[in-house]
């Protein structure tokens, strides 16, 4: 999907296809991890207001979600699993307390080993989806044309673009957050991959049928 498009219906359709495309990946535990990340975790964080934090166990589940939905990097999971509970809670309290100053919030979280700007953005997105979109490969490629720089500076550019797109798409009874924009972009990328895979398989199938007819003749 073209990031510059303001076709609200198209963006809404991609967002609504998110869950089915997630399921189509057929990855173990991904659907349940996604449900935890999008539905359970935000409620847990809000219940801890006015001084929210994320626990180590929740951070480990968040990391499993991030790696399952994207590229699996087991070392990151090992790093996060080795963190101390107090370290996680203190860093996340500082990060959430820094909002809406996004740069400061990200920096507060990346002091933890294994937590870079992308993982930090996922933590913040669970609490403030309108401010801090998750820095996924697919959304980065669509919005920035690059997935090479996972830096704070790059994330700030990325977040600003998705916040602006959310404002452009909101209206006429529709309300988009920056995180909605990220999920729509991810969904669109998965849909394109699925379409690309099916078109690659089809010619091979036709070739096999052709070969079979030749043998029959």
Predicted pLDDT at 215: 43
Q: What is the pTM of this model?
A: 0.89
* Under-50 pLDDT residues of the chain: 201-207, 209-217
For residue 28 the two structure tokens come to: 């173990």
Rounded to whole angstroms, the Cα distance separating 69 from 27 reads 8
Nearest 10 degrees: CA dihedral of 80, 94, 107, 133? 80
Predicted pLDDT at 195: 67
Predicted pLDDT at 207: 45
User: What are the pLDDT digits (tens) for 89-114?
Assistant: 999 999 999 999 999 999 999 999 99
């Amino acid at each position: 999907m073209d990031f510059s498009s303001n076709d609200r219906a198209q963006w809404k359709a991609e967002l609504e296809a998110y869950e089915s495309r997630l399921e189509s990946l057929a990855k173990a535990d991904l659907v349940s991890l996604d449900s935890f990340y999008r539905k359970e975790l935000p409620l847990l964080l809000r219940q801890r207001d006015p001084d929210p934090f994320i626990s180590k166990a929740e951070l480990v589940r968040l990391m499993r979600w991030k790696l399952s939905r994207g590229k699996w990097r087991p070392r990151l999971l090992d790093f996060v699993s080795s963190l101390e509970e107090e370290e996680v809670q203190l860093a996340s309290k500082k990060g959430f307390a820094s909002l809406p100053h996004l740069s400061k919030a990200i920096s507060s979280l990346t002091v933890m080993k294994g937590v870079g700007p992308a993982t930090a953005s996922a933590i913040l997105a669970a609490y403030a989806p309108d401010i801090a979109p998750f820095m996924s490969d697919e959304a980065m490629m669509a919005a920035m044309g690059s997935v090479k720089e996972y830096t704070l500076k790059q994330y700030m550019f990325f977040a600003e673009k998705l916040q602006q797109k959310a404002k452009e798409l909101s209206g006429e009874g529709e309300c988009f957050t920056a995180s909605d924009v990220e999920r729509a972009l991810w969904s669109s990328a998965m849909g394109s991959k699925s379409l690309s895979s099916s078109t690659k398989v089809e010619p091979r199938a036709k070739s096999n049928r052709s070969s079979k007819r030749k043998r029959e003749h």
